[in-house]
Amino acid sequence: MFELDFSVIPANSSLLWEGIKMTFLLASLAIIGGIILGTFLALLRIAKIPVLSQFSAAYVNFFRSLPLILVIFWLFFLVPLIVGKPVGAFSSVLVAFILFEAAYYSEIIRAGINSVRLGQLAAARALGLTYFQSMRYIILPQAFRAMTPILLTQAIILFQDTSLVYVVGLRDFLVSAEIVANRDQRLVEMFLFVALVYFVICFAASIGVKYLQKRIDNEL
C-alpha cells in the first residue's frame, strides 16, 4: 500500500497550467472552426443544386464513419506532405478537429435550419432579400438559437475529445499531467487529478446547457 501525495500538483502547477491552456485553446479554435465549416456544409446540403448537396452528404458520411483518433493520426502525417513543410502538431491537430467536428456540427445546424418555419423564408424572400441574405439575417439566427444547447453539448464532447492529441504528443492537459506522473512517479494522483478537472469542467458546462435549454424552451 502506498500513500497518496497530492503535493505533486502545486509543485508542477505552471506546467499543468500550460497544458490546460493548450487544451482550451485547441478546443475553442476547433469549436469555432467546426461551426463555421459545419454551417457552410449545412448550407450546401440544403442547396437545391444536387452536386453540392451530394458533396456535403458524402463529406458528412465519410467523417462520421471514421474514428477521430485515426483522422488525427493521418493528418499529422498528411498535412506536412500536402503543405510541403513541417507544420507542427498543433496545426495538424487543429485541422483534424475542424474537419471532423464540422461533419457533426453540420448535421445539428441542418436540423436547426429545418426547424425554422418555411413561411419565414417566404416572408424574407417576399421582402426582396436574396437567398443568402434570408439565410444570414432570418433563418440562421433562428436556427442557432434553437440549436444552441445541442451545439454546446457537442462542444463539451469535443472538449473531452481533445485529449486524443495524446497520440501525436501535443502537450495538452492530459499529456502534461502524464509527463509529471511519469517523472515524479505519481501516476494515481495525477490521473485522479486529471479526471477530476475534466469532470468538473464538463459537468458544470452541462448544467449550464440544461439551464440555457430551459430558458430557450420558455421563450419559444
Instruction: Point out which residues bind another protein (CB under 8 A).
Output: 117, 119-120, 122-130, 133, 137-138, 141-142, 145, 219
Q: Nearer to another protein by C-beta: 3 or 219?
A: 219
Task: Say which residue the cell 430558458 belongs to.
Answer: 215
Give me 64's grid cell.
462520421
Q: Nearer to another protein by C-beta: 14 or 218?
A: 218
For the CB of residue 124, give the shortest distance to another protein in the complex, in Å. 8
For the CB of residue 116, give the shortest distance to another protein in the complex, in Å. 10
For the CB of residue 217, give the shortest distance to another protein in the complex, in Å. 13
- Of the candidates 102, 44, 23, the one whose C-alpha atom is nearest the C-alpha of residue 68 is 102
How far apart are the two ends of the chain, measured CA to CA in Å? 57
For the CB of residue 219, give the shortest distance to another protein in the complex, in Å. 8
Widest CA span in the chain: 76
Q: Nearer to another protein by C-beta: 67 or 141?
A: 141
Whether residue 80 contacts residue 15, with contact meaning beta carbons closer than 8 Å, is answered with no
Whether residue 87 contacts residue 80, with contact meaning beta carbons closer than 8 Å, is answered with yes
Q: Nearer to another protein by C-beta: 145 or 171?
A: 145
